[in-house]
Amino acid sequence: MAKPLTAKGIDALKPGTSRYEEPDGNMPSLYVIVQTSGAKSWAVRYRFKGKPKKHTLGTYPAIKLADARTLAAQVLTAVAEGRDPSEEKKQAKREAAHPVKDDIGSVVAMFLDRYAKPNQREDSFKETKRHLEKEAVKAWRGRSIKSITKRDVIDLLDAAVDRGATVTANRLLAAVRRFFNWCVERGIVDASPAAGIKAPTAEKSRDRILSDKELGLVWKGAESLDWPFGPFIHLLILTGQRRDEVAGMRWSEIDLANATWTIPGDRTKNGKAHVVPLSPGAVSLIEGLPRMKDGEGDSAFVFSTTGKTAISGFSKAKAALDKAIAKLLKGNDEADADEPPTIPDWRLHDLRRTMASGMARLGVPVHVVEKLLNHTSGTFSGIVGVYQRHEYADEKRQAIETWGEYVARHP
């Protein structure tokens, strides 16, 4: 058994040809380390999760024997509490070398850069960024992330509801909750102030399906729209794909020879690449589209006004379409710009649902419709989705061509 160290004994320790350690018989795990230069320091050796660890206390005689024993006792107490003093010391050094600002704006910026941008699809990232920067940061600007309470989150949501943005309030809660969960994972805060908060508004799934007459009006109304929104609407109807997927279509994704459009996984909602067969009508439409320029050559985007970015401004395009439909129904070229849509309560996304319903009426099996829409819920959810790898390419093509013929018969 090691003898207790004394100040006189430590002073008498001479350097050797190699570094060595002398244990203290009065404090288990405490050692004085003697370097070949004669310099002496204190260290505590312990095991954490089965692995040997070493925690340096400092130099001797700057830290005297009695103080070294006190510090060693603190280290061993921390280990007994399930903490790793050595790792805590390293973390403290890292934080001192790279201090992290904890104001809400700085932490949100770090979250967007480190998590949201690399892990979310482009449209989802833009929505997350908008909610956090325009709502949360604006409301809590300058405050420490640790000062945000559950009451603050509730007040933020209530403000959105009070101005009539009820659905936005739900999306805002989702963004804030993910942000604070990330903060907890990173050790920035101990608990999320958004935990346990329910969505402020109950949302109902839409079930709006356009009638054949309404669908025909949308098609005819789109014919009068300026480039690029007329053909864009037509392709929404013919393919049944999501608005942003069609809007962001690239020429590189189109294979006209094989009449297919392959949407890469980074542009689909479920993150999976999706092959969309194109009907003869869709192929003819795409073949007739102009090739935009981006300043250096042909634009990568099928639908673009600048050549450098995909189209946006869907609300204005929808309003122009509604006005065109109103003119068709009036039978003249005059329509009040402030007149409400003559097709009641419809949205562009309803075209996707309308295609699905129309295909069902035409006898297309539901599993083929789901494959065309790139759905992973319903027929292909759960264990079925894991083992069912058949892509139904022939069935999808037959279905899309049947739908294209049906649309052509009901202009």
Q: Rounded to a whole number, what is the distance in angstroms from the first to the last CA of the chain?
A: 97
How far apart CA 225 and CA 233 sit, in angstroms, is 9
Count the residues in the chain. 411
Could you read off the pLDDT of 244-273 as tens digits, one per residue? 999 999 999 999 999 999 999 888 887 889
Ordered structural domains, the chain, with CATH: 7-97 (3.30.160.390), 104-185 (1.10.150), 212-409 (1.10.443.10)
What is the helix (H) or strand (E) element at residue 274, kind and residue range? strand 274-277
- The angle, 0 to 180 degrees and rounded to 10, between the axes of the packed helices 212-223 and 350-361 is 130
362 contacts: CB under 8 Å, gap ≥ 6: 402, 403, 406
Q: How confident is the model at residue 284, as a pLDDT? A: 96
> Cβ distance 346 to 208 under 8 Å?
yes
How far apart CA 404 and CA 338 sit, in angstroms, is 34
268 by DSSP, 3-state: which? coil
User: Shortest CA distance to 8 belongs to which of 45, 44, 61?
Assistant: 61
- H-type alpha helices, 224-338: 229-239, 243-247, 280-287, 314-330
Q: Which residue has the tokens 């609407």?
A: 233
User: Shortest CA distance to 403 belongs to which of 227, 212, 238, 232?
Assistant: 238
| Helices and strands per DSSP (H, E), number in the chain | 18, 7
- Note the maximum CA span of the chain: 109
Low-confidence ranges of the chain (pLDDT < 50): 335, 337, 378-389
Q: How confident is the model at residue 375, as a pLDDT? A: 79
Distance of CA 57 to the CA centre of its chain: 44
Beta-strand runs (E) in 188-269: 254-255, 260-263
Q: Which residue has the tokens 């097709």?
A: 343
369 contacts: CB under 8 Å, gap ≥ 6: 356, 359, 360, 399
Q: How confident is the model at residue 380, as a pLDDT? A: 44
Could you read off the pLDDT of 142-161 as tens digits, one per residue? 999 999 999 999 999 999 99
How far apart CA 219 and CA 230 sit, in angstroms, is 8
Q: How confident is the model at residue 249, as a pLDDT? A: 97
Q: How confident is the model at residue 381, as a pLDDT? A: 43
Distance of CA 20 to the CA centre of its chain: 53
